[in-house]
Amino acid sequence: MRRRTFITLFGGAAAAWPLAARAQQAAGQMRRIGVLTVFSKDDPEGQRRVAALLQRLQELGWADGRNVQIEFRWAGGDPDQSRFYAGELVGMKPDVILVNNALVMPLLQKETHIIPIVFVAISDPVVAGIVTNLARPGGNITGFTTGEYEIGGKRLEVLKEVVPDVARVTVIFDPRQPNQVGVARAIEAAGPSFRVHVTMAGVRDGTEIESAIAAAAREPNSGLMVFASLVTNAHRRMIIEHSARQRLPAIYDFRYFVAVGGLVSYGHDPAELYREAAGYVDRILKGEKAGGLPVQNPTKYELVINLKTAKALSLDVAPTLLTRADEVIE
């Protein structure tokens, strides 16, 4: 009897021990997420996106400092700093890296084939060589795009609606990003159908932005199309001020340009992409492979018009366009 009791107790303890050990290990396990963004830490738009990410992660059961440690790196418009931070995050060996910075993707691809990477707001990851297939990306990378190349033509159409007399449009983009080059070329090809001559202006810093705006201002009936990038995000107030001074109407990718004085934007809400990216981060932390999660395009685009800026440029925006707008800033 004693022997049976001993065996029963020993067997029960032996069975219970791994469960208790696993529970203790799971309770003490801190997962790690690396986040690299193009914004500086004090940028309101960067903070808005991060807030959306953290809120959605919390809804999914992940709280920074409780069961997950999130390492944020704020590049602040500096390409060299971006690359340094990308290497630093890889060296930390987190469970997943979320990145909103197209310039560092080649470096991340080179540095790791193991750490899952979720990108946010990259226009065409196939053309950029980030993934080979949107539906089945494979490898360790997936994410959320800014949309198809056709979105550039749509922005040209919107600018033409807001400013019917515009005959020349300078596209300001980052020539270091193959995807932006591709979209700019698609807009250039679409120009004749809108009776618009398109000039491509690749910019790498504030000085080149100023030169591009000055060159556009020398031509009559000119306008601008400004792509969001590391450099234009960092210099967006300067772009808007120079455009206003030169009386150049401009269309932007995102609302946050219009909120500080830009004329019009047409694009998705980047904060919503961060929320969706949080869902992918959650699935990866729970065991799914990044390469098995399809790359997704935005499903909703918003038109935002700054009526105060339009009036300052002596533009009469058609009432039908104002009715279609998702938001009118006055």
Predicted TM-score (pTM) of the model is 0.85
For 146-159, what is the mean pLDDT? 88
The pLDDT assigned to 7 comes to: 36
For 224-229, what is the mean pLDDT? 96
The pLDDT assigned to 28 comes to: 53
Per-residue pLDDT of 51-62, as tens digits, reads: 999 999 999 999
How much of the chain, in percent, has pLDDT values that exceed 90? Answer: 81
Phi and psi at 102, nearest 5°, equal -65, -30
Among 52, 110, 46, residue whose Cα is nearest residue 72:
46
Per-residue pLDDT of 232-263, as tens digits, reads: 999 999 999 999 999 999 999 999 999 999 99
- Local confidence band at 185 (pLDDT 50, 70, 90 cut-offs): very high
| Residue 25 reports pLDDT greater than 70 | no
More confident residue, 123 or 190: 190
d(Cα 313, Cα 293) in Å, to the nearest integer? 45
Contact of 70 with 64, CB cutoff 8 Å? yes
Per-residue pLDDT of 190-211, as tens digits, reads: 999 999 999 999 999 999 999 9
Among 78, 84, 86, residue whose Cα is nearest residue 105:
86
How much of the chain, in percent, has pLDDT values that exceed 70? Answer: 92
| Residue 5 reports pLDDT greater than 60 | no
| Residue 227 reports pLDDT greater than 60 | yes
The pLDDT assigned to 6 comes to: 36
DSSP, residue by residue, 80-136: HHHHHHHHHHHHH--SEEEEE-GGGHHHHHHH-SSS-EEEEEES-TTTTTS-S-SS-
Q: Which helix (H) or strand (E) holds 265?
A: strand 264-267
Per-residue pLDDT of 63-75, as tens digits, reads: 999 999 999 999 9
